[in-house]
Structure 1
């Protein structure tokens, strides 16, 4: 291949990857943006309700981790069967994920409801905060379950390389939630609001609207089949578990680490927890390109894996790394400069504003390296290295991130806590990139392990 044709091919890959990623990135931005606005509305109720909501974030991420782990496995299997041109099996797998996923997440929601008192007490919530959390959490669990149903539907579209509808539905549900939030939280005119539980009610209504549209659009696709599900479940259990087990563990590690970090930060007081909760919303929103790539890239890699096209796999991951580094550095530095104004817009309490400013300044630029680590984990799952992905996730959180955050908390301020998180993200990104580079170097262009 000539240099000109190679450049043209690389440019074509960039354009295709961008076309697959931008709907998901915009969707993620809108979805996470409404969560940030949600927290900003709650902040107007006072530091107490904001701290109460912040305690629920890591447990919500626990549920999200389970659904994402299931989604990773099913997207990998479906995309590989499509790449191998086994369309009928992909239909059966699509039906299995909708049925099995909804039941699994529903059971998890029930368990988390009955255990919520113990969980939030262990996280450091006071008795007063527990009184605020209980009515909100009952409704938020319903919202989390509906979110999982939407996510599994999105997974089917992504596995077929159709990302536009999921992106559009994320935007739509976000706008609905944004419109409903002030009405449900504060009320309108003589009609009183529901306070903190109103935030969950708004989310439930928004997700129900999204589900109606998703079911309608799925009915137009020939992606599902109810025949032979029992035999397919038996056939797919082992390959599914091989991917889903490590992937789910990988996805459960971040919320478990977030719960641990929240417990550590809670020793610094309610304003610190409130600032940490707002920062967690900013973190996920600032990673919109990374999250978009983790949704659009794996199915494409799965197709390439099924077709044994390793040169394209290398090119796609290289493009993804470039995009992540450039975007996260530019966005992180801009946010660090604007930190005082962003904190002022999100929080009314001066102490919370100060703590949030420090977190933004030091943590957001480090997400360039965190993003690299997230892409490595996502790509490794798609390429048949789920155990490796799980070990990278473990090392990122429990070897790099949490020890550094703990050191910052023990130093006694949110500034040192932010510096600790920055150091942990840098260590994790460098570690993940070195491991993934070595993994790709160990496979030749025909997919055979080099001696």
Structure 2
């Protein structure tokens, strides 16, 4: 997509055209996690529980990458909106190098403190060996597994969501094909169990890395070399000013998930296994929201840089209206098929019952969760990362964890699940009020300066 399209084409159709390719890619990428979970579940409850313990830790590193991707996307897209391609290339190049250093450093800390981290999360000594089988190769190869996300952010900042979607799709297909081979073995390939799942992921990610870095370098010309110290400092400062708060905000989710996992672990391995399955199904159920959260920020950042503030407002409100209707429909589907879904992932009756309970309650809040996700991404795109950080603190530590604990105290595991769902609803309402305030201030400042670049013709094209 030509970057100028984001500044001139009708808002709703542009968002749709950017989101649909991302949706295809996200479907395949989320199937990556669903397929992994499905195959691991065939190994038994203990391997599935061990696999569930790994999610908060792997997502911590992924969250760092997401945060840095948000930073580079916001800075590069805004710079492109200001019509400065050379400076955008500089920002993209420096941010990829800085991201690689931060991601690998955090991964090595995780490798060094492996047993301490998972014991703190509630893992039993007998779980640690299985967890280590998965996490050791994952942490060592973290750059291969994660860096394609940063490259994809550079392409999305340029207005191209098709290539990142294809990359995610190719990686997911390769992973799905290799999973049974390495997990269960075939011919000369021995059965590796839980470790086989991560080996399949690493091989798939190698292919993704090759494609991403070729496209960023040769097709988009967004990777340069030989920058001066002053240029590196400038770009790193700009990107980190958004990327680090965004990363911290995103990393709150796995940190709070670790605490929640520790709470859930008090109900037994069956509860941990059920929550691991539920969280992955939940991610798949929110896939449209996640796709929009990747396509909306480049649109907002470029229009923010160009001064088209009314287009920013229209894009945000159109997106959340659609998300509320979409997630209501998804909830009805999950409600009808919750039993079938649970039985596909577990044989243990206790695990099945908790999965069904999870799917009947948590998705009620998904529409409001969509508002929170899109508000967070929009605030980062408007270069207001600290507002996003504050919203996540409220979501996770003021609402979710206290309400989950209180709910569990009142009504056991069912009360805990209700508490988590209620926190999602309340956070969505707060997020909407916060974004309304920021948009009102943005448009008010624009009107006072009399420099709003939007025209009635642009708005009427919808």
TM-score by length of 2: 0.92
Q: CA RMSD in A?
A: 1.8
Task: Spell out the pairing of 1:19-58 with structure 2 (5 A cutoff).
Answer: 19-58=17-56
Structure 2 stretches lacking a partner, 5+ long: 1-6, 450-462
| C-alpha distance in structure 2 between counterparts of 1:225 and 1:237, whole Å | 14
Report Cα offsets for 1:251-282 as digits up to 9, x if no partner: 11111111111010000000000000111111
Q: How much does 1:310 deviate?
A: 0.8
Which residue matches 2:190?
A: 192
- Please say if residues 371 and 429 of structure 1, whose CA atoms lie closer than 8 Å, have aligned partners that are also in contact: yes
Between the aligned partners of 2:401 and 2:448, the Cα distance in structure 1 is 34
CA distance in 2: counterparts of 1:448 and 1:204, whole angstroms: 51
| CA distance in structure 2 between the partners assigned to 1:83 and 1:274 by the alignment | 46
Indicate if the aligned counterparts of 1:10 and 1:315 stay in contact, CA closer than 8 A: no
Long gaps (5+) in structure 1:
1-8
Cα gap change, 1:143 to 1:326, in 2 (>3 Å):
farther
How far the C-alpha of 1:249 sits from its partner, in A, is: 1.6
> Would the aligned equivalents of 1:31 and 1:171 in 2 still touch at CA under 8 Å?
yes
What CA distance in whole angstroms lies between the structure 1 residues aligned with 2:322 and 2:309? 20
Q: Which moved more, 1:218-227 or 1:351-360?
A: 218-227
Indicate yes or no: 2:116 matched with 1:118: yes
Q: Could you tell me whether the CA contact under 8 Å between 2:95 and 2:236 is conserved in 1?
A: no
Q: 3-state SS of the aligned residue for 2:446?
A: coil
Aligned equivalent of 1:149: 147
Mapped to 1, the partners of 2:102 and 2:442 lie a distance apart of 36
Corresponding position of 1:108:
106
In 2, distance between residues paired with 1:400 and 1:314? 28
Q: Deviations over 1:45-104 (max 9, x none)?
A: 010000011011011111111111111111111001100011111111111122221121
Q: What SS does structure 1 have at the residue aligned with 2:10?
A: helix
Cα gap change, 1:168 to 1:229, in 2 (>3 Å): farther
Matching of residues 333-344 of structure 1 within 5 Å: 333-344=332-343
Residues 156-202 of structure 1: per-residue CA shift (max 9 Å, x gap)? 10010101011011111111111111111001257431001000000
Aligned to 2:454: none
State the partner residue of 1:89. 87
Determine whether 1:373 maps to 2:367. no
Answer yes or no: is the 8 Å Cα contact 1:142–1:204 preserved in 2.
no
Write the deviation string for residues 24-52 of structure 1: whole angstroms up to 9, x where unpaired: 12212211111111011101101000001
Equivalent residue runs for 1:272-421 within 5 Å: 272-411=271-410, 413-421=412-420
Question: In 2, distance between residues paired with 1:366 and 1:130?
Answer: 34
Distance in 1 between residues matched to 2:263 and 2:8, nearest whole Å: 46
1:245 Cα offset (Å):
2.9
Q: CA deviation at 1:204?
A: 0.4
Number of residue pairs the alignment of both structures matches: 442
Structure 2 residue aligned with 1:211: 209
- Contact 2:81 2:305 survives alignment (8 Å): yes
Q: Partners of 2:357 and 2:345 in 1: how far apart?
A: 14
Residue 98 of structure 2 contacts residue 236 of structure 2 at CA under 8 Å; is this kept in 1? Answer: no
Answer yes or no: is the 8 Å Cα contact 2:365–2:424 preserved in 1: yes
Q: Identify which range, 289-298 or 405-414, moves more after superposition.
A: 405-414
Q: Could you say if the C-alpha distance between residues 121 and 313 of structure 1 is closer, same or farther in structure 2, counting changes exceeding 3 Å?
A: same
2-structure distance, mates of 1:449, 1:343: 56
Name the SS of the counterpart of 1:188 in structure 2.
coil
Q: Give the distance between the partners of 2:150 and 2:189, measured in 1 at CA.
A: 36
> C-alpha distance in 2, partners of 1:315/1:302?
14
Q: Deviations over 1:88-133 (max 9, x none)?
A: 1111111112222112111111110011110000000000000111
